[in-house]
Amino acid sequence: MKRLSLANGFERSTKRTRRPAFLGEMLAVVPWDALVARIAPFAPAGTTGRPPYPVLLLLRVHFLQQWFSLADEAAREALYDIPVYRAFAVIDPGATGIPDATTILRFRHLPGRHDLALLQKVKALPGARGLMVRGGTLVDARIARAPSSTKDRTGTRDPEMHQTRKGNQWFFGMKAHIGVDADSGLVHTVVATPANVHDLAVAGSLLHGDEAVVHGDSGYEGGARWCDTPGVAWMVAVPLPRNRQRKEGAGGPQH
């Protein structure tokens, strides 16, 4: 595989934005050789079938997931869509050699299976290096579905999951509550709960304490009172009344 530098991936850009600047910093400060040497003994040997993906490639994809809150399939799609991610992961510009979601999933579970605690230190690097401005936080919640069937060996559903209603649709599973640095787009906090836990119930846990402002959707209305955050402005997107929605949808905003 042809090795690329971040400069190769960014040379067509006319402006150095925060995301490539952040990845360039991580490329310089993360001890990649030490991490690869630590992980390599546990990586698939690839003695049969197609050759395995390089450990360095999978390791960098893993940290892209951590820093930008990407699920396995979302990480794969992002590698196809975003050249700066491909350059960081040492994938050629033609977007060939991108691992599938299953490969990304298996590598994501590898550190936990072998107690590779060294990776935790790298996850904390953005904050330690001052790469998060920490002036504001974006909060959001996502539902992760789980099988609702009881047709298994125990005849029961997973007790850690729960059912909830969103709009006119019912979901069974868990909810990921996420806090994102508003300036850099980096994820700094993730809290997992059953799906029926209200967004506001854990909103306070998504804040790092240095925010001047918190941004969220209508699920976080009343956050300033609920979370007791004096001096922090809560900017919540509240839906328009239905009659106004009909007017604006028909002929634009009414003045």
Q: How far apart are CA 181 and CA 71, in angstroms?
A: 18
> Tokens 């979601």 correspond to what residue?
101
pTM of full prediction above 0.85: no
Phi and psi based region of residue 177 (left: phi greater than 0; alpha: psi -120 to 50; beta: remaining): beta
Angle between helices 72-81 and 55-68 (to 10 degrees): 100
**pLDDT tens, residue order, the chain (255 aa):** 445 455 454 445 555 667 888 888 888 888 888 888 888 888 776 555 567 889 999 999 998 988 887 888 889 999 998 899 999 998 876 667 899 999 998 888 887 676 666 556 666 666 655 555 556 888 999 888 887 766 566 666 778 888 888 878 888 899 999 998 877 677 888 899 999 999 999 999 998 887 888 989 888 988 888 888 887 888 888 665 655 545 444 444 444
Q: CA-to-CA distance for 29 and 95, rounded, in angstroms?
A: 26
Residue 8 token pair: 């190769």
b or e along 77-90 (b: 16 or more beta carbons within 10 Å of the residue's beta carbon)? ebbeeebbbbbbbb
Euclidean distance between the first and the last CA atom of the chain, given in angstroms as a whole number: 59
What are the structural domains of the chain?
A: 6-128 (no CATH), 136-242 (3.30.420)
